[in-house]
Amino acid sequence: MFLEPRVGTNREAPRRGWIEVVCGSMFSGKTEELIRRLNRATIARQRVEIFKPALDTRYHAHDVVSHNANSIRSTPVALAQEILLMTSGCDVVGIDEAQFFDESLIEVCVQLANRGTRVIVAGLDMDYAGKPFGPVPALMAVAEYVTKVHAVCVCCGELASYSFRIAASEDKILLGETDSYEARCRPCFIEGMKEKSPPARVAARHETL
């Protein structure tokens, strides 16, 4: 369980900012954990703002919504830089679905933290191919605190770190839910990827025939 380094409202103390990253696969509880931390900051009477990428309207136009239907009011933004303009005087800034922003999100988070803001960023660390996703890996590098959460593998029940795409699309971004993705552990992810693509050797031999 993540313990907040600061939950009080001591306005005398110098403002100290930092970056927290919550990452993992789809269905791993990133949004739940983000909402939990932001709710606690609100209880501590801190000024909290939440943002999500404007392109992600899967569950709600404005709210950040978890798969177990927890939600919190948020502001959708098209560009990460907009966050800087809307957060003066904020104690805590939450950002969900960080993988959908471009690399400029890293500098935005660093600037917020340097200003004295606690920044909590949630996002997918890997895409459907198991490759590092957007600005999340670099955010993990510059963050003070990184929490990797895990889903349950739908094939075997072990801890899952991968978002396996069931849908046929090969676009890097495919907004979807349980109809398009499954949480899988490493062996079940590898197995699924093998089933999707026939072995290269067989394909090569086929070409020479």
Q: Does the annotation place 113 within a ligand binding site? A: no
The first and second tokens of residue 146, run together, are 């990184």
Residue 139 contact among Mg ion, ligand ADP, none, beta carbon within 5 to 8 Å by kind: none
| CA pair distance 35, 96, nearest whole angstrom | 9
Kindly identify the residues of this chain, within the stretch 80-99, that bind Mg ion according to CB under 5 A.
none
C-alpha distances (whole Å) from 101 to each of 31, 56, 113, 124 are: 16, 11, 18, 11
Closest CA to 137 of 149, 129, 128, 127: 127
**Residue of 20, 33, 49, 97 with catalytic role:** 97
Binding site for ligand ADP (CB under 6 A): 24, 26-32, 66-68, 151-152, 154, 183
Helix (H, G, I), strand (E, B) or coil at 1: coil
| CA pair distance 155, 118, nearest whole angstrom | 37
Residue 27 contact among ligand ADP, Mg ion, none, beta carbon within 5 to 8 Å by kind: ligand ADP
Which of 26/136 has CB closer to ligand ADP?
26
Among this protein's residues, is 33 annotated catalytic?
A: no
Which of 47/67 has CB closer to ligand ADP?
67
Residue 32 contact among ligand ADP, Mg ion, none, beta carbon within 5 to 8 Å by kind: ligand ADP
Which window, 4-12, 22-30, 71-79, 184-192, contacts Mg ion (CB under 5 A)?
22-30
Residue 155: CB atoms within 10 A of its CB come to 17
Helix (H, G, I), strand (E, B) or coil at 62: coil
Helix (H, G, I), strand (E, B) or coil at 23: strand
The only residue of 28, 31, 161, 163 in contact with Mg ion, by rule CB under 5 A: 31
Q: Does the annotation place 173 within a ligand binding site? A: yes
C-alpha distances (whole Å) from 71 to each of 33, 36, 67, 74, 144 are: 11, 10, 9, 9, 26
163 binds Mg ion (CB under 5 A): no
List of residues contacting Mg ion (CB under 5 A): 30-31
Q: Which residues are catalytic?
A: 97
Which amino acids are annotated as binding site, given as ranges? 24-31, 96-99, 153, 156, 173-176, 181, 185, 188
Which amino acids are annotated as binding site for ATP, given as ranges? 24-31, 96-99
